[in-house]
Structure 1
Amino acid sequence: MDVRNTTADTPAAVTRDAPPAVSRRLRLITVIATFGGLLFGYDTGVINGALPYMTDDLGLTAVTEGMVTSSLLLGAALGAVVGGRLSDARGRRRTILVLAVLFFIGALACTLAPTTAVMVVARFVLGLAVGGASVTVPVYLAEVSPAERRGALVTRNELMIVSGQLLAFTSNAVIARVGGESGGVWRWMLVVATVPAVVLWFGMLVMPESPRWLASQARFGAALEVLKQVRSQQRAEAELAEVSALAVKEEQERLGGRQDMRATPWIRRLMFIGFGIAIVQQITGVNTIMYYGTQILTDAGFASDSALTANIANGVISVLATFVGICLLGRVNRRPMLMIGQIGTTAALLLIGVFSLLLPAGDSRAYAVLAMTVTFLAFQQGAISPVTWLMLSEIFPMRMRGFGMGVAAVVLWLTNFAIGLVFPSLVSGIGVSHTFFLFVVAGLCSLTFVKLYVPETKGRSLESLEAELRARFSW
């Protein structure tokens, strides 16, 4: 039987019979859950504008700048695997509630930090929440979504991430204009993140648990009730039958943990692919622009205030590109979209390096570099990032989906951590141009990996995709 043809067509027909209340409920769940993505984006992007002011107040050096920036990323690596395990054991909804509390505590601690050491610890705590959200929110959305809308709904989280980054860039510029050079202006930039954390916590109190997680715990009646909230009656019953059969099979096989990564060949292959997808997303160097974009533009020739304002363009293009990416995911296969994104980002990074090397300091170089950072982000946020988080939420088996994505996200965040830590030193040691040339080489390696190893996941239910990947990789 060809799994591809039997699973992608029937759900859409059933969905057309769903009452409007079902679509409204699904939209509400998506909006509330993706506040985790908004916090992810704001807390990773706010350091971009806060860092120059923080440097003066806390007396940061190039090394301690890297520590303040990358401590969040180290926390995110731990938060990803712990969050993944917690969401498999205790449920997606409960985990998101815990993460909302961590977001609030971490943001408040960063705001009040009196010294560099306290700031590093507070950013680490905030990173635990960011890492947990990066895993749990996409999995929750993937498990709630119908197959034909999964791409669009899961990538709404990516839209909220880049919207959070745009909010950070914009609020940084506004606060800097209003506060000027007054001491502690960066604290106002950081405290804004407490507001969406409160919204996320109160919102998730009234959201349902993932029906697939409930089924994995043999709570089939509760799973059906949740499915009825976001599906038509007919489809909810049909989908529960498919999910229940898979849950029983995985229970018999005892799938769900670390030992399966070592002992089960097809899961080992999926973990290898998941690790590769995670690394591919990070070694484009995207977060050098998100974390150090203001400094890159200053080095290119902008004044400090102008660089903060110009950096908003990076946030705007990220949001617009993500809108385009969401539209494309409904029409274009995941794998070629990922490859096109790699080609675009690699070309943009090459040109950033060339312009920084050959153009004289001044407006021409400043605007040329800005144009290329905008182009880079258009390909990154319109293709690579949404496909990455979507595919990581799709490829792992149901009983270990949180754990599998969590381990892959650890690789992603550790790669992010390493790049964020060494980037200031690389720029200081070999210059902006040669640093970006290194990213170009990494981009070519990434393109080769995607072409050779990454499978297509579009158009399948999670259950049929699992069956297909199991059959394909079991040998």
Structure 2
Amino acid sequence: MYLEKEVALAGGVEAGVSARLDRLPPTRYFRGLVARIAIGGWFEFYEMFMAAYISLGLIHSGLYRATTSSMFDVNGFASFLGSFFAGMFVGTVALGGFTDRLGRRAVFTAAMLVYSVATLAAAFQTSPVAMDAWRFVAGIGIGVQLITVDTYISELTPNHTRGRYSAFSILVILTSVPTVAVLSYLLVPYTALGLEGWRWVMIIGAGGAVLIWFVRRGLPESPRWLESQGRFAEARAIVDDIEQHVVAETGQRLAAPVPVPDMPRDGINDAPAAWRDMWRGRYLPRTIMLSCFNFFQTFGVYGFGAWVPVLLFTKGITLTHSLLYTMVIAFTTPLGAIGAMLFAERVQRKWQLVGCAIVVAVAGVLFGMAREPLPILLCGAAVTIANNWLIGIFHTYQAELYPTRFRARAVGFVFSWSRLSSIFVGFWVAALLKHSGVPAVFVLISSAMLVIVVMVGALGPRTNGVRLEELSQ
């Protein structure tokens, strides 16, 4: 009876669900939900950043070369990167709509299984073509999973802590980077049970297929998605359960939900209308800004992250020391997510993105010129922290700029630009590395970061503390 009155106070079922969620306090229960969803992302980032740490193993085994003889040369390491990001492009732009049609929870599970099985198969391949094929399949699964995780978390958490919880999820996820760095440092130079070390790193990354069955148990479907599908009773039942957990933990009666005036219903999904809406009214500048942002952010995140060992090795640093420096730099990865979590609700997210891009641009150029261990480590750490601070913020930012009825589809579209550029970034980096050296690589990265500064600064809206429904009015 109490819950029914709350719904009536909020002015209808939809307003009731959003208002009831948004007035809930931060609790261990929410952190637990976010952490469990983030475990799916943990294996995704392990897979994405794994490429950097096993790169020298792949090259020294003879499977790939460090540079390419021509564009899309399958024998170059850039092909290993490009095939994966091509799969992510397909997953985000072509299959992202499945998350809006089938639900966050179901797609979260299916995508994790797809990329885990594909990664396990890739670990046993002996030719570049076969390896690239399985990396493509793994990329499809991860492309779908990434937008599902962002959407899922943004819809389950209250508006006043949305950025903090999203940044917390990135903190959990980014612990995968030092993990894969340590594993690669310990395993890549050696062979065990007849398998090269880099293969063992990939096999370990396939472990998500086992954990998913434990992670998914007890995870609720997004109530906002359920009501967008007209499944109001299920949406209310899930919010009832969430409220019961919060009350049991805090021991306090919940405040009455604040009505949301003149809030339009998301309604039942309409795919053609959703696509048109991305290019109308307030969504047009958001779509343009996020598409440009995603296209250029990969220059810093993956143009640097996926090539650190190779860039160091090209400078004349030995294989062992390249892996050691890379591992040390990797341990600063969570610091970016911690910064994002601490400042998520204190500083406008758009300006945090601008600041991170500036740091990457400046520290990246200095890294390209550095020759001694200390400046290499300091500049590499600065780029890594800024890149991952940016990741911790933009995953929240892009998910909150579209309405529930087509959030996953829109996020998938704008995010697909990052996957498209990632296909080419590896080849551009390889070509610059071959003909112009390491400094030229960072001129490319810095130029891309300046585009982000201009686009986000000019077109990015303010979102901190604003309800998802208000942002989509």
TM-score (norm 1): 0.85
Name the counterpart of 1:102.
Answer: 114
- Check if 1:54 corresponds to 2:54: no
Note the 1:135-154 alignment, pairs <5 A. 135-154=147-166
Query: For 1:242-257, what aligned pairs fall within 5 Å after superposition?
Result: 246-247=264-265, 250-251=267-268, 256-257=273-274
Counterpart-to-counterpart distance in 2, 1:133 and 1:341: 25
CA apart distance, 1:81: 2.4
- Aligned-residue offset at 1:339: 1.6
- Picking from 26, 33, 38, the partner of 2:30 is 26
Indicate yes or no: 2:401 matched with 1:395.
yes
Query: Kindly tell me: are residues 139 and 253 of structure 1, through their superposed partners in 2, closer, same or farther at Cα, counting changes over 3 Å?
Result: closer
Give the whole-Å Cα distance in 2 for the aligned partners of 1:109 and 1:80.
22
Are the structure 2 counterparts of residues 14 and 66 from structure 1 closer, same or farther at C-alpha, using a change threshold of 3 Å?
closer
Give distance in 1, aligned partners of 2:345 and 2:276: 36
State the match for 1:471 in structure 2: none
Helix, strand or coil at the partner of 2:198: helix
- The offset of 1:237, in angstroms, is 8.3
Choose which of 213, 221, 225 in structure 2 pairs with 1:209: 221
Name the residue aligned to 1:313: 328
Partner Cα distance (1:183, 1:192) in 2 = 13
Distance 1:447 1:181 in 2: 49
CA distance in 1 between counterparts of 2:60 and 2:411 reads: 39
Asked if 2 retains the 8 angstrom alpha-carbon contact of 1:45 and 1:291, the reply is yes
Q: In the aligned structure 2, how far is the partner of 1:181 from the partner of 1:460?
A: 55
* Conserved? CA contact 1:321–1:379, under 8 Å: yes
Q: What do residues 383-410 of structure 1 show as CA deviations (whole Å, max 9, x unaligned)?
A: x221211111100121010000000110
Cα distance in 2 for partners of 1:380, 1:31 equals 21
- Across the aligned residues of Structure 1 and Structure 2, the Cα RMSD in angstroms comes to 2.7
Instruction: Say which SS state the counterpart of residue 247 (structure 1) adopts.
Output: coil
Deviation at 1:147, TM superposition (A): 0.7
Q: Counterpart of 2:294?
A: 278
1:48·1:291 contact (CA, 8 Å) conserved in 2?
A: yes
Q: CA deviation at 1:238?
A: 3.9
Identity between Structure 1 and Structure 2 (%): 20
- The structure 2 residue matched to 1:15, chosen from 17, 24, 28, is 24
Q: For residues 249-298 of structure 1, what are the alpha-carbon distances to aligned partners after superposition, in whole Å with 9 as ceiling and x for unaligned? A: x5599875323335x33332321122133234223x22122211111222
Alignment partner of 1:161 is 2:173: yes
Pairing partner for 1:78 from 90, 97, 101: 90
Counterpart-to-counterpart distance in 2, 1:106 and 1:156: 28
Q: Does 1:370 align with 2:382?
A: no
Change (3 A) 1:13 1:368: closer
1:236 CA drift (Å): 10
Cα deviation, residue 176, structure 1: 3.1
Letter in 1 for 2:398: L
Q: Once the 2 structures are TM-superposed, how far is the Cα of residue 381 of structure 1 from its aligned partner?
A: 1.3
Residue of 303, 325, 349 corresponding to 1:288: 303
Verify: 1:268 aligned to 2:272, yes or no: no
Matches of 1:93 and 1:180, distance apart in 2: 37
Distance in 1 (alpha carbons) for counterparts of 2:113 and 2:21: 38
Given the superposition, is the C-alpha separation of residues 464 and 424 from structure 1 closer, same or farther in structure 2, using an over 3 Å criterion? Answer: same
115 and 280 in structure 1: CA distance in 2 versus 1, 3 angstrom threshold: closer
> Is the 8 Å Cα contact of residues 37 and 137 (structure 1) preserved in structure 2?
yes
- Tell me what 2:4 maps to: none
Counterpart contact for 2:294–2:414, Cα < 8 Å: yes
Please give the alpha-carbon distance, in whole angstroms, between the structure 1 residues aligned to 2:338 and 2:158: 20
2:78 corresponds to which residue? 66
Q: CA deviation at 1:218?
A: 0.9
Range that drifts further, 286-295 or 227-236: 227-236
Contact 1:48 1:292 in 2 (8 A): yes
Q: Which residue of 2 aligns with 1:443?
A: 449
- Of residues 333-342 and 57-66 in structure 1, the stretch that sits farther from structure 2 once superposed is 57-66
Distance 1:202 1:48 in 2: 29
Deviation, structure 1 residue 96: 0.6
Please say if residues 33 and 219 of structure 2, whose CA atoms lie closer than 8 Å, have aligned partners that are also in contact: yes
Taking the aligned partners of 1:13 and 1:97, their CA distance within structure 2 comes to 26
Q: 1:14: how far off?
A: 4.2
Distance in 2, Cα, partners of 1:157 & 1:13: 19
Alignment of 1:422 with 2:428, yes or no, is: yes
Letter in 1 for 2:423: F
For the 8 Å contact 2:361–2:450, the answer to whether it is kept is: yes
After superposition, give the CA deviation of every residue in 1:211-244 in whole Å (9 maximum; x if it has no partner). Answer: 11101001111111212333468879848x7599
- Is the partner of 2:137 in helix, strand or coil? helix
CA distance in 2, matches of 1:193, 1:338: 30
Deviation at 1:52, TM superposition (A): 1.9
Contact conserved, 1:137 with 1:157, CA < 8 A, in 2?
A: no
**Superposed displacement of residue 368, structure 1:** 2.1
**Residue 363 of structure 2 is aligned to residue 340 of structure 1:** no
* Structure 1 residue 346 displacement after superposition: 1.0
CA distance in 2, matches of 1:245, 1:296: 52
C-alpha distance in 2 between matches for 1:244 and 1:90 = 28
Identify which of 39, 42, 53 aligns with 1:38.
Answer: 42
- The 1:201–1:155 alpha-carbon spacing in structure 2 relative to 1, beyond 3 Å, is farther
Query: CA 1:286 to 1:310, structure 2 compared with 1: closer, same or farther past 3 Å?
Result: same
- Aligned partners of 2:261 and 2:168: how far apart in 1? 24
Alpha-carbon offset, residue 136 of structure 1: 0.5
Q: In the aligned structure 1, how far is the partner of 2:403 from the partner of 2:28?
A: 29
1:101 partner letter: L
In the superposition, relative to structure 1, how do residues 201 and 247 fare at CA in structure 2: closer, same or farther (>3 Å)? farther
The 1-side partners of 2:20 and 2:328 are apart by 40
CA contact (8 A) 2:295 2:420 kept: no
- Provide the residue aligned with 1:323 in structure 2: 338
> What secondary structure is seen at the aligned counterpart in 2 of 1:35?
helix
CA distance in 1, matches of 2:387, 2:366: 15
Q: Which runs of 5+ in 2 are unaligned?
A: 1-18, 69-75, 248-252
What CA distance in whole angstroms lies between the structure 2 residues aligned with 1:417 and 1:252? Answer: 31
Structure 1 CA distance, aligned partners of 2:456 and 2:286?
Answer: 13
**How many angstroms apart in 2 are the aligned matches of 1:85 and 1:457?**
24
Larger mean Cα displacement after TM superposition, 204-213 or 135-144: 204-213
